[in-house]
Every structure is written in structure tokens, then in C-alpha cells.
């Protein structure tokens, strides 16, 4: 490779480099004329996502990518639900490589399930080369060694892996060849993991959800609903492949039995069984978020309170809105928002997306600014250890899924914009359903153009974009 | 040859002061010079005598008894000195005379880090084990702490890189009131000395951490003045780190 580069010479290499980057920015970009600071920060996010991913083979994207040694290069659920949904819209081949990383470690995941006395595949909380769990067992904190339980108990990552594969297939419109085995094996895991009560309700006991302030909880809403989605998605994939059988029918039946903590009277999901009992503490009672509440108040105090680290229930509205009750986003935002410390770098971007979806775009923009500043302004004091790739992916997603309201369902791209007051327009270029797509949103109209036939719609209305440009 | 001052006076238990001065002199490759204060001196004149000696060429720092009787002078000396002052409690008597481990509370500001930088370098080069302590409070607690097992390490590496970039230095993190944790951690780590940068202002409501550490520590406490450009400290101008 070095010899080839030497033969080409610097001038030709530079020309090729410039052409490649020009091609990237031609296909993917963001323009916010009224907010050049946000535009620049979002382009920084896109630039870093490109720099830390590549297509071909398999791709393990650690929490800090290639930008630093922080987090030992370990792969978390960041590489399933935060980075791939962004990367699939800017470089689908790189997203496919990320899915292949997980698919090629199904063997290790099966072994981990067997070791836990379960069937199917259980993916590790922290993953590296082998696919085995590499989560540290403990950490020295405040002068004592504290056990780290995420490796044992934060099991939702198994469903997250399946979700990423399914999301890739949905967004690209490609057959779910990668997704099907991941969906099936993870569904088998959940089927063996659930406990049935006397009334044949299905429960998942003793886990940690995305909110890591509360450990060893039962019926964490996020874990349960993602497991339910997983079972249903696997059954659906089996149907589409003509492989429906007794097992896949059991998956559907079990999915219908999984408890989710939903209360129709309030529209709220109880984050875990007994969540409403602890100290009803709001974050504003002790600090201005974002704040690492576990450091400030102590692990025991936050565990005994209703303060949560990051969106937990609300992640369901972000990832699987079809699995949660219609109209439940607002009551859960109203309830869990003031209880969320945002002590995780994963939190601000997702919250921005959800606030935009809930029709609160100005609050969403404030949260997006926090996400965009996280590395640029080194809000964590740890950017020297590497960029927070999940946050960068989440910020791009906040614009696509949050402010532009992009969704792909059954091969149709829908647009449902929510622009903040400070933005008169938003222009996006991205990849979707095998096409290059251009979206121009103003307060008066939405213009969509695609580099080929594309089914697209505005807020449920169907239309078709052909060639460049199309206009609604 | 450079010198470490051992300030002895009536009512002072000499041994802890001399032992501490000797240990510090060994680290600094200096000699010990005893400064004796007689009973007839007023507190102000006694302080002036110490400051004269401390600011003479070649003097690195002064070691004083914290609990001397009948008139403690450490406040007068420490507030006016441009060089470090080490305050030795009577309780230090009987402890080992060497200084093998030093606790360095740092508040995460460039000023406090700069104040002790020279001291840190000298202690490190002498093979003294250095433990940095940082105490989070509501103002300084990190905004994000993703995965404790990794965040602690990343945060510590960055903190030390910014404020105490010496090989082999350890960081201990606590949350709460700095003064309380300094004493607890000094005891837990079996520190032989605590070294603090300070602004030399003991007005009510200020220097709470320094007061607590100085008054309640069971080990010597070194107070290192922070930079004094533009601030009048009397005739004793900042002479730079020892």
C-alpha cells in the first residue's frame, strides 16, 4: 500500500483525497442558514462519524472509536442504537460492517447464553475482539472498590443488537439476511429468559436498564418492551422467509404476555417494578442538569430515589415507537424529564430528538446544543480520551428523526418536520432506501428530491419523488 | 547552600519541627538552619524575624510549630510569606521522621496546580510517593460519567495530565467538603505531609479548606502561596518556587 501511494505521488493522492471528500459532502450534508454554529457542529459530527467508520468486512466501533484510547476500545450498545442509525444514512456500507461485527460473534453470544443456562444468543455488555464479555468487574471509587454489575445484568444489549440489524434492513430497503439469524437467536434468548407468573404474564427479573442508577430491577420497561419487540420482529422475519413454525408462533404468544408497566390512566410506563416507591427527588432539587448525580449524591442515595441517569422508558419512544402506546410520549416526557440527570453523554441528543417529536422544538434545540458542545467544548473533561461517538451519532439522529421527523416504514420514507423558532429552514442530504435524498424544509413547504424512484410522504400522505427535483 | 528553616521558640516542642525540617532538607539537598525565638519577642516581632530569615537568599521554606505557646505566629508568617511554610502539629511527635508520602489536594484550577508545581517536582525527583486528592462538589462535579469503570480512569488521566503530570502520581476522588476529605484521605493513605496551594487570605469565609487542614491535621501541612503578581504582600515579594 505504501509503495502504491509512493508511486502515485503526493499531488495525485491529495487530488484523490479531495475528490473522495467532495463526493461525501455532495451526497450527505446539512445546512441551517439561521444557525451556522449548529450547522458547523453537525458537520463536525458527520466528519467524525466518517473518520471513525469504514465499509468492508466487519467493523467494531468502540465508544470512542479510533479517536482515543478511552473505554479501552470496547464496544457497547452505542454501536447498535446510536451510531449505526446515523451511519446508515451517511454510508450504508459502514453500517453493514457494524452489523457484521455482531453477526460474526453469534457463536460467542450463544456460548454466553448457554453459560447462563439460557437458549439462543446473549450479547455482552462490553465487547471486544472475541465477542466475550470484557466488562470490568469492579472500579475504585471514593476510596473503595465498587463492583460493576453491568456485565452481569445489563442485558438489553441483546435486543439492541437485533434492533440495529433490523433497522439497517428497514432503512436501506435491503433484504434482512444479516438481521434474520440475529433476530432468531436473540428471540430464543428472551424466550428462555422470561419468567411466567401464575396468570402467565411474562417477566424479566434482575436487570439493569439504560438508567444505570438503579440496578437489579425487575420488569425494566425498556428491557421488557425491547424483548417484546425482538420476539415479534423475529417472528415477522420468519414469516417473510417462509420459515414460520411452532417456535415463531410461541415467540408471538410470549411477546403478548410480557408486562410493560403501562398505565392507561396516566399514559405512563413504570420504569421498573416499584419505581414509584423510592424518594421522589427531582434533579432541579439538587443541581442543574446535566450532572453526574451518582457522583454528587452518592450511588446509594440515587439508587434510593427516582432520579435517573438518562432516558430509559423514553428510549422506547425513540427506537420502537410502534411498540408503545399512542400518545404516551408526552406524559412520559413530562414525568421522566425532570427526573433525568442526563449524567450520560448518550442522553442529550436522544432527549433533543424526543422533545422535537413531542412538539417542543425550542427545548429540543437547547438540548441539541448541549450534545453538539459535548466534545467541541469538552463538557465532560474527558474528550482527550476520545470523542463520544454515540453522542455524535445521536446528534445527527436528532436532526433527522427529531427535527425533520424522518421515518422509514415498509419501504416508504415519511417526513414530519418540527422546526425550532430559530430555524427558518433546514436542508438535509442523506442516503435512504438505496437513494441519495435531498430534503429542503421551510415553514411553508417541504421539498424532497431523490436520485431515483423513491416512495416518500408527508405525515402519512403518500407521494413519489422521481429524479431531481420533486416538490410537494 | 540552600536552607530549610526550623523555627524554634519558647513553648514549642522542638523535636517534630526539627524532624520535619530535616526530612524536607534531605529532599531538597539543603541544610537545616534553626531560627530561635525568645519569650520576650512580641508575636509581630517574632513573625518579622522569621520572615526576614525566610526571605533571605537561599532559604527555601520555614517549618513552624502550629500549636506553639504562648503566642502562635503561624498565621502572620504564612499570610506574608512568599515562600512555603510548613506547620507541624504537636501530634506529629512520635511519627516517622521521613517524608515518604505526600497528599496533594488540588481543586482543579491552574492557580492551585501552579502553586505546588515546583514542590511537586522536587518531591517527585526525591522519590516521594505523591497522592493527589480532588473533591467534587456541586460546582465541580462532572456533568457526564458514562461507565464508572472507564470514566474514572479517563477523568483521572486527564486531570493529572492537566494539573500534576508527574509519573507515578495517583489520584483519589471524593465528593463533599474538601476539608473533611483531606484529613480522612491523609489518614487512609498514611500520608506524612499534606501540601496545599493557597491564596494567603484568612478573612472570615475564606480558606475554609486550609483552616480545616491546618488546624485538624495530625501531620505537617505545607502551605504554598499561589502567584502574587499585582498583589501587595508587604516587603516580601514572591521569590518563586523553592
Residues B122 and B201 in one domain: yes
Residues B16 and B53 in one domain: yes
With respect to residue A23, please indicate whether it lies within any of the assigned structural domains.
no
Query: Given this model, what pLDDT does residue B179 score?
Result: 87
pTM: 0.92
Query: Given this model, what pLDDT does residue A429 score?
Result: 98
Q: Which residue has the cell 493522492?
A: A13
Chain B interface, best mutation among A151, A375, A380, by max B CB count within 10 A:
A380
Query: Given this model, what pLDDT does residue B68 score?
Result: 67
Q: Check pLDDT > 70 for residue A351.
A: yes
- Whether A148 has its CB under 8 Å from any CB of chain B: the answer is yes
With respect to residue A39, please indicate whether it lies within any of the assigned structural domains.
no
With respect to residue B145, please indicate whether it lies within any of the assigned structural domains.
yes
Mean pLDDT in residue range A447-463: 83
Residues B119 and B198 in one domain: yes
Residues A157 and A111 in one domain: yes
Residues A436 and A299 in one domain: no
Question: How many separate domains does chain B show?
Answer: 2
Residue of B nearest to A310 (CA): B146
Contact A371, A353 (CB under 8 A): no
Rounded to whole angstroms, how far apart are CA atoms A53 and A31? Answer: 23
Chain B interface, best mutation among A154, A292, A370, by max B CB count within 10 A:
A292
Residues A343 and A414 in one domain: no
The residue out of A373, A404, A435 marking a domain boundary is A404
* pLDDT, averaged across chain A: 95
CATH of the domain at A469: 2.60.420.10
Contacts 24+ apart (CB under 8 A), B35-43: B35/B5, B35/B6, B35/B7, B35/B8, B35/B62, B36/B8, B36/B9, B37/B7, B37/B8, B37/B9, B37/B10, B37/B73, B38/B9, B38/B10, B39/B9, B39/B10, B39/B11, B39/B70, B42/B71, B43/B71, B43/B72, B43/B73, B43/B76
Contact A74, A385 (CB under 8 A): no
Residues A396 and A445 in one domain: no
With respect to residue B156, please indicate whether it lies within any of the assigned structural domains.
yes
pLDDT digits (tens, 9 = 90+) for B4-42: 999 998 766 688 999 999 999 999 999 999 999 988 888
What are residue A115's phi and psi, to 5 degrees? -60, -25
Residues B83 and B110 in one domain: no
Query: Given this model, what pLDDT does residue A460 score?
Result: 56
Residues A376 and A451 in one domain: no
Residues A418 and A331 in one domain: no
Residues A95 and A193 in one domain: yes
With respect to residue A57, please indicate whether it lies within any of the assigned structural domains.
yes
CATH of the domain at B39: 3.40.50.620
- Whether A295 has its CB under 8 Å from any CB of chain B: the answer is yes
Residues A244 and A327 in one domain: yes
Residues B38 and B126 in one domain: no
State how far residue A321 is from chain B, nearest Cα, in angstroms: 25
Quick one: angle between helices A329-336 and A347-357, nearest 10? 140
Report the share of chain A in percent with pLDDT over 70: 97
A146 contacts in B (CB within 8 Å)? 148
Contact A410, B187 (CB under 8 A): no
Residue B159: domain span: 101-225
- Ranges under pLDDT 70 in chain B: 11-13, 68-71, 92-96, 205-206, 227-242
Residues B113 and B220 in one domain: yes
Q: Which positions in chain B have a beta carbon within 8 angstroms of at least one beta carbon in chain A?
A: 136, 138, 141-152, 154-155, 157-159, 161, 172-175, 184-185, 188
With respect to residue A421, please indicate whether it lies within any of the assigned structural domains.
yes
Chain B interface, best mutation among A73, A151, A381, by max B CB count within 10 A:
A381
With respect to residue B241, please indicate whether it lies within any of the assigned structural domains.
no
Residue of B nearest to A294 (CA): B145
State how far residue B219 is from chain A, nearest Cα, in angstroms: 20
Residue A461: domain span: 405-472
With respect to residue B231, please indicate whether it lies within any of the assigned structural domains.
no
Count of alpha carbons within 13 Å of A424, Cβ hemisphere only?
Answer: 3
Give the active site residues of A.
Answer: 212
Amino acid at each position: 500500500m505504501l509503495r502504491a501511494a509512493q508511486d502515485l505521488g503526493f499531488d495525485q493522492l491529495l487530488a484523490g483525497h479531495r475528490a473522495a471528500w467532495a463526493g461525501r459532502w455532495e451526497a450527505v450534508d446539512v445546512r441551517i442558514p439561521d444557525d451556522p454554529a449548529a450547522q458547523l457542529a453537525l458537520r463536525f459530527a458527520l466528519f467524525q462519524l466518517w473518520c471513525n467508520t469504514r465499509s468492508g468486512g466487519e467493523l467494531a466501533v468502540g465508544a470512542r472509536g479510533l479517536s482515543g484510547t478511552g473505554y479501552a476500545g470496547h464496544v457497547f450498545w452505542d454501536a447498535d442504537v446510536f451510531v449505526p442509525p446515523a451511519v446508515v444514512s451517511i454510508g450504508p456500507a459502514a453500517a453493514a460492517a457494524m452489523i457484521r461485527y455482531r453477526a460474526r460473534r453469534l457463536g460467542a453470544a450463544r456460548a454466553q447464553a448457554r453459560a447462563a443456562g439460557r437458549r439462543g444468543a446473549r450479547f455482552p455488555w462490553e465487547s471486544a475482539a472475541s465477542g466475550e464479555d470484557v466488562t470490568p468487574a469492579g472500579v475504585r471509587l471514593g476510596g473503595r472498590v465498587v463492583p460493576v454489575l453491568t456485565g452481569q445484568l445489563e442485558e438489553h444489549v441483546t435486543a439492541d443488537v437485533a434492533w440495529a440489524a433490523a433497522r439497517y434492513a428497514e432503512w436501506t430497503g435491503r433484504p434482512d439476511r444479516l438481521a434474520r439469524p440475529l433476530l432468531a437467536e436473540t428471540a430464543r434468548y428472551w424466550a428462555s429468559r422470561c419468567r411466567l407468573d401464575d396468570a402467565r404474564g411474562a417477566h424479566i427479573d434482575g436487570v439493569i436498564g439504560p438508567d444505570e442508577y438503579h440496578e437489579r430491577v425487575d420488569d425494566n420497561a425498556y428491557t421488557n418492551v425491547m424483548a417484546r419487540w425482538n420476539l415479534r420482529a423475529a417472528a415477522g422475519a420468519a414469516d417473510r422467509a417462509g420459515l414460520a413454525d411452532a417456535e415463531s408462533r410461541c415467540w408471538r404468544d410470549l411477546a403478548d404476555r410480557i408486562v410493560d408497566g403501562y398505565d392507561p390512566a396516566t399514559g405512563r410506563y413504570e420504569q421498573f417494578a416499584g419505581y414509584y416507591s423510592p424518594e421522589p427527588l427531582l434533579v432541579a432539587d439538587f443541581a442543574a442538569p446535566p450532572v453526574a448525580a451518582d457522583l454528587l449524591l452518592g450511588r446509594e442515595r440515587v439508587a434510593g430515589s427516582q432520579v435517573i441517569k438518562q432516558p430509559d422508558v423514553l428510549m422506547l419512544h425513540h427506537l420502537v415507537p410502534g411498540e408503545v402506546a399512542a400518545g404516551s410520549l408526552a406524559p412520559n416526557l413530562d414525568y421522566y424529564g425532570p427526573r433525568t440527570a442526563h449524567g450520560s453523554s448518550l442522553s442529550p441528543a436522544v432527549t433533543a430528538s424526543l422533545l422535537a417529536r413531542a412538539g417542543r422544538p425550542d427545548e429540543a434545540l437547547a438540548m441539541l446544543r448541549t450534545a453538539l458542545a459535548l466534545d467541541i467544548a469538552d463538557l465532560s473533561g474527558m474528550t482527550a480520551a476520545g470523542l463520544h461517538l454515540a453522542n455524535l451519532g445521536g446528534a445527527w439522529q436528532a436532526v433527522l428523526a427529531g427535527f425533520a421527523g424522518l421515518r422509514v416504514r415498509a419501504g416508504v420514507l415519511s417526513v414530519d418536520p418540527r422546526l425550532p423558532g430559530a430555524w427558518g429552514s433546514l436542508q438535509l442530504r442523506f442516503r435512504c432506501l438505496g437513494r441519495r435524498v435531498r430534503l429542503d424544509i421551510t415553514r411553508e413547504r417541504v421539498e424532497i428530491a431523490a436520485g431515483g424512484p423513491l416512495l416518500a410522504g408527508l405525515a402519512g400522505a403518500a407521494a413519489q419523488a422521481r429524479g431531481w427535483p420533486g416538490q410537494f | 547552600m540552600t536552607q530549610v528553616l526550623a523555627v524554634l521558640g519558647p513553648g514549642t516542642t522542638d523535636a517534630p519541627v526539627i524532624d520535619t525540617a530535616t526530612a524536607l532538607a534531605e529532599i531538597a539537598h539543603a541544610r537545616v538552619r534553626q531560627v530561635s525565638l525568645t519569650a520576650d519577642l512580641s508575636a509581630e516581632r517574632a513573625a518579622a524575624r522569621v520572615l526576614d530569615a525566610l526571605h533571605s537568599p537561599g532559604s527555601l521554606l520555614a517549618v513552624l510549630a502550629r500549636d506553639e505557646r504562648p503566642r502562635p505566629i503561624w498565621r502572620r508568617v504564612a499570610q506574608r510569606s512568599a515562600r512555603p511554610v510548613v506547620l507541624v502539629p504537636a501530634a506529629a511527635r512520635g511519627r516517622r521522621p521521613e517524608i515518604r508520602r505526600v497528599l496533594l489536594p488540588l481543586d482543579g484550577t491552574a492557580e492551585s496546580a501552579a502553586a505546588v508545581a515546583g514542590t511537586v517536582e522536587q518531591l517527585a525527583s526525591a522519590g516521594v510517593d505523591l497522592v493527589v486528592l480532588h473533591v467534587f462538589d456541586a460546582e465541580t462535579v462532572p456533568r457526564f460519567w458514562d461507565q464508572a469503570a472507564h470514566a474514572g480512569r479517563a477523568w483521572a488521566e486527564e486531570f493529572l495530565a492537566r494539573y500534576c503530570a508527574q509519573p507515578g502520581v495517583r489520584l483519589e476522588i471524593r465528593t463533599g467538603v474538601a476539608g473533611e476529605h483531606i484529613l480522612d484521605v491523609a489518614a487512609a493513605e498514611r500520608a506524612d505531609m499534606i501540601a496545599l496551594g493557597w491564596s494567603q487570605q484568612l478573612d472570615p469565609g475564606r480558606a475554609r479548606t486550609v483552616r480545616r487542614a491546618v488546624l485538624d491535621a495530625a501531620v505537617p501541612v505545607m502551605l504554598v502561596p499561589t502567584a502574587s503578581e499585582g498583589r501587595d504582600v508587604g516587603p516580601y515579594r514572591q521569590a518563586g518556587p523553592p
